[in-house]
C-alpha cells in the first residue's frame, strides 16, 4: 500500500494520470462507437444473449454474452464458435467495451462467446486465467444448449486477452498442476485455431521492451510496468507459466496434444511487437502453423478501429487465415 507521501510524488502522479487517461480513452471510445447506427447487431442479422453466468458466484466478472447470426441460429444446428477474451492490461475493460470484436466475427457467420473475467489488482494472477479456463469448461458442458460446435472452436483475444487465449491453448495441450488447468485438460477439447492479436505474452518481464527500445517514452513504460505490477503483485507465485505462456512455447517442453494453428497480427509501432515475433519463432521451431502479420506504423490494438484501412486489412487477413483452415462458417 502506498503512503500519502508516495502518492504525492511526481512519478506516482505521472503514472496515475497516465492510467486515468488510458482507462477513460478506451471506455469512452467503446461507448461512443455504440451510438453509431451500424453498431446495432440487428443491422447485421445478429442477435445477442446477454449476461449468462458461467460461474455461480453472483459476480459480474463471471458473465458472458453470446452473439450469433440469427438465420444460422434458427437452424438449430451447432455453430462454429469463437471464445473471445477482451484485453485491457488485465485490469480494465470488459465484454461490453469489446462489442466491436464480437460483432466483427458474428456478422461473418461465427457465433461468439464474449466473456468477462476478474480484473487486477483486486484479483491478481491467476484469477483471470482461472476464470477463462472455467468459461471454456462451462462452454463444453453447455455446448448442446447453445449450439456450440466444439469441433470448430477458436480462441481469440487482443493484448491481455491474447495472453489469456494463448495460455488457454497451453492448458488444453499440456497437463498442468493447477486445478483449473486440469479441469480444462480433462474436458478434452482443443481449439482449431488461436488468434492472439498484439499479445502481451510475457507479463513478468515488462522491462524487456525498454531493453529492445531504450528510447521508449516514459508513458508507454509506465503502462507496461503498471500491467505487470497489477497482475502479478509484489510477491508473484513461483510458477508463472500461465502468465508467461511465451516462455513455455520457447522451451523444449513437449505438449501432450498438438497445438492448433495461430494467426498473430501486430502493428510495427506497437511496443509489444517483439512478443509476436518471438511467438512466431517459437511456433516455427515446434513446426506449428503460425501466420504472423506485421502492419506498418500501426499502434497497439489498431485493428479495433475498423474505420482505418489497415484495421480492415487485419480483419481480411485474419478471416482469410480461417478460410485456409477450412473453418469459415458455411452460408
Is pLDDT at 284 greater than 60 in this prediction? yes
What's the rounded Cα separation, in Å, for the pair 169 and 184? 10
DSSP H helical ranges for the chain: 4-7, 10-33, 70-74, 99-106, 127-141, 160-173, 179-187, 208-212, 218-232, 245-249, 273-285, 309-324
pTM of the model: 0.91
Is pLDDT at 6 greater than 80 in this prediction? no
- Going by pLDDT thresholds of 50, 70 and 90, the confidence category of residue 212 is confident
Residue 8 has a pLDDT of 46
Mean per-residue pLDDT over the chain, rounded: 91
What's the rounded Cα separation, in Å, for the pair 239 and 173? 18
Considering only residues 284 and 20, tell me which one the structure prediction assigns the higher pLDDT: 284
What's the rounded Cα separation, in Å, for the pair 27 and 41? 19
**How confident is the model over 290-316, as a mean pLDDT?**
96
Q: Read off the pLDDT of residues 137-167 as tens digits, 9 standing for 90 and up.
A: 999 999 999 999 999 999 999 999 999 999 9
Q: Read off the pLDDT of residues 237-263 as tens digits, 9 standing for 90 and up.
A: 999 999 999 999 999 999 999 999 999
Q: Read off the pLDDT of residues 24-73 as tens digits, 9 standing for 90 and up.
A: 655 665 665 664 566 789 999 999 999 999 999 999 999 999 999 999 99
Strand arrangement of the beta sheet that strand 148-158 belongs to: 46-53, 63-69, 111-115, 79-85, 148-158, 193-197, 262-267, 290-295
**How confident is the model over 96-104, as a mean pLDDT?**
96
218-to-19, 215, 222, 269, 330 alpha-carbon distances in Å: 12, 9, 6, 15, 48
- Going by pLDDT thresholds of 50, 70 and 90, the confidence category of residue 179 is very high
The DSSP code sequence of 169-195 is HHHHHS--SSHHHHHHHHHT---SEEE
CB burial of residue 7 (10 Å; 0-12, 13-18, 19+): exposed
Query: What top-level class would CATH report for the domain 8-324?
Result: alpha beta
Q: What is the CA radius of gyration of the chain?
A: 19
CB burial of residue 19 (10 Å; 0-12, 13-18, 19+): middle
Q: Read off the pLDDT of residues 7-22 as tens digits, 9 standing for 90 and up.
A: 543 544 434 444 544 5
Residue 24 has a pLDDT of 60
Amino acid at each position: 500500500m502506498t503512503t500519502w507521501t508516495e502518492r504525492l510524488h511526481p512519478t506516482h502522479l505521472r503514472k496515475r494520470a497516465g492510467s486515468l487517461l488510458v482507462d477513460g480513452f478506451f471506455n469512452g471510445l467503446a461507448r461512443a462507437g455504440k451510438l453509431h447506427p451500424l453498431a446495432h447487431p440487428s443491422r447485421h442479422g445478429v442477435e445477442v444473449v446477454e449476461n449468462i453466468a458461467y460461474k455461480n458466484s453472483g459476480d459480474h466478472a463471471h458473465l458472458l454474452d453470446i452473439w450469433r447470426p440469427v438465420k444460422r441460429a434458427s437452424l438449430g444446428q451447432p455453430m462454429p464458435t469463437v471464445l473471445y477474451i477482451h484485453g485491457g492490461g488485465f485490469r480494465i475493460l470488459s465484454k461490453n467495451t469489446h462489442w466491436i470484436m464480437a460483432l466483427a466475427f458474428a456478422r461473418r457467420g461465427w457465433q461468439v462467446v464474449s466473456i468477462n473475467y476478474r480484473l487486477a489488482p483486486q484479483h491478481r494472477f491467476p484469477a483471470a486465467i482461472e476464470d477463462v479456463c472455467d468459461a471454456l469448461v462451462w462452454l463444453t458442458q453447455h455446448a448442446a444448449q447453445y449450439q456450440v460446435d466444439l469441433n470448430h472452436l477458436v480462441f481469440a483475444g487482443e493484448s491481455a486477452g491474447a495472453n489469456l487465449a494463448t495460455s488457454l491453448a497451453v492448458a488444453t495441450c499440456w497437463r498442468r498442476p493447477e486445478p483449473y488447468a486440469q479441469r480444462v485438460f480433462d474436458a478434452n477439447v482443443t481449439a482449431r485455431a488461436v488468434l492472439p492479436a498484439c499479445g502481451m505474452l510475457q507479463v513478468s518481464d515488462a522491462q524487456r521492451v525498454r531493453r529492445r527500445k531504450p528510447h521508449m517514452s516514459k508513458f508507454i513504460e509506465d503502462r507496461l510496468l503498471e500491467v505487470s505490477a497489477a497482475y502479478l503483485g509484489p510477491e508473484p507465485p513461483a510458477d508463472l507459466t500461465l502468465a508467461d505462456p511465451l516462455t513455455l512455447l520457447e522451451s523444449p517442453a513437449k505438449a501432450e496434444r498438438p497445438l492448433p494453428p495461430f494467426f498473430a497480427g501486430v502493428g510495427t509501432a506497437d511496443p509489444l511487437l517483439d512478443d509476436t515475433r518471438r511467438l512466431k519463432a517459437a511456433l516455427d521451431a515446434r513446426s506449428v502453423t503460425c501466420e504472423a502479420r506485421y502492419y506498418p506504423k500501426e499502434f497497439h490494438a489498431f485493428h479495433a478501429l475498423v474505420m482505418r484501412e489497415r484495421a480492415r486489412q487485419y480483419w481480411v487477413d485474419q478471416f482469410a487465415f480461417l478460410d485456409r483452415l477450412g473453418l469459415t462458417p458455411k452460408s
